[in-house]
Amino acid sequence: MMKMKSMLLLAALNLCFILFGCTNESKTEKLNPYNLDITQSKEEYDREVKQNPDWKLEDLGKIGGIYLDIRYATVNNFTGKVIYLSPRAFARRPVFDALQKVQDSLSHFMIGLKIYDAYRPYAASLKFFEVYPDTNFVANPRKGSRHNRGCAVDLTLVELSTGKELPMPTEYDNFTEKAHPDYSDLPDTVLTNRKLLFGIMEHFGFSYYPTEWWHFDYKGWEKYKLLDLSFEELGRR
């Protein structure tokens, strides 16, 4: 009788292992369906930062003069849904330092930066591609994005004293030809503002994206790993 109970218990444990194993595997597959090399735990991230402090994600809200308008923490974005739980912006330490230099330079002309988005958890990229699977404007999650590496930032220029945006070719996340950096059928004021934005960003190590005037990648982005950590996991202000 005892032998029969033991066999039944063992069978039950094996069944639980199979069921929970499948559940965990499905969860992993959902978060990383293409089996990419992604840092997905805070512990792993902390180890990487300890080995290389430049890999730390810094809070862009700590840069004096920068305005934050984190659209994906609202419904005012192309998905129509709240994607981020917190209206925050992070970037790797060298990106943070470069943006601080951009802001310091612009402040002499009473102009500042407004950040729409920066580091983007990989899970958010999966959601974006579900909504708008066009790789001209949304990064293909099969490869991950530069936002996922903490090396891309979406931004514009504003009046430093008021936060009012300077006229640009389009609104943020406009998926039309007018958003292309080489689109020229625009008022002179807009062309001047865009040229100023591109010029100062390039001067401090950024390059602009071929279909989005607001998107800038920092040099050397290739050496940073993809990340899937929420803003909450990265810590409080």
The answer to whether residue 69 scores a pLDDT higher than 60 is yes
Mean predicted confidence (pLDDT) in 103-120: 98
Mean pLDDT of the chain: 88
pLDDT of residue 236: 63
- By C-alpha distance, which of 70, 90, 78, 91 is closest to 179? 78
- By C-alpha distance, which of 124, 73, 67, 71 is closest to 99? 67
Mean predicted confidence (pLDDT) in 104-128: 97
The answer to whether residue 10 scores a pLDDT higher than 50 is no
pLDDT of residue 17: 32
Q: What percent of the chain has pLDDT above 90?
A: 83
Q: Which helix (H) or strand (E) holds 156?
A: strand 152-159
Mean predicted confidence (pLDDT) in 102-131: 96
The answer to whether residue 99 scores a pLDDT higher than 90 is yes
In a domain, 137, yes or no: yes
The answer to whether residue 11 scores a pLDDT higher than 70 is no
Q: Which helix (H) or strand (E) holds 212?
A: strand 212-218
Mean predicted confidence (pLDDT) in 84-99: 97
The answer to whether residue 13 scores a pLDDT higher than 90 is no
Q: Tell me the per-residue pLDDT of 185-207, one tens digit each, with 9 for 90 and over.
A: 999 999 999 999 999 999 999 99
In a domain, 235, yes or no: no
Q: Structural domain tally of the chain?
A: 1
pLDDT of residue 225: 97
Residues 122, 101: Cα–Cα separation, whole Å: 28
Structural contact between residues 121 and 115, judged by C-beta atoms closer than 8 angstroms = no
Mean predicted confidence (pLDDT) in 100-110: 97
In a domain, 199, yes or no: yes
Domain that holds residue 142: 57-227
In a domain, 64, yes or no: yes
pLDDT of residue 24: 34
pLDDT of residue 237: 53
In a domain, 46, yes or no: no
pLDDT of residue 136: 81
In a domain, 44, yes or no: no
CATH number of the domain to which 115 belongs: 3.30.1380.10
Confidence of residue 135 (pLDDT cuts 50, 70, 90): confident
In a domain, 168, yes or no: yes
Q: Tell me the per-residue pLDDT of 174-190, one tens digit each, with 9 for 90 and over.
A: 999 999 999 999 999 99
pLDDT of residue 235: 82
In a domain, 34, yes or no: no
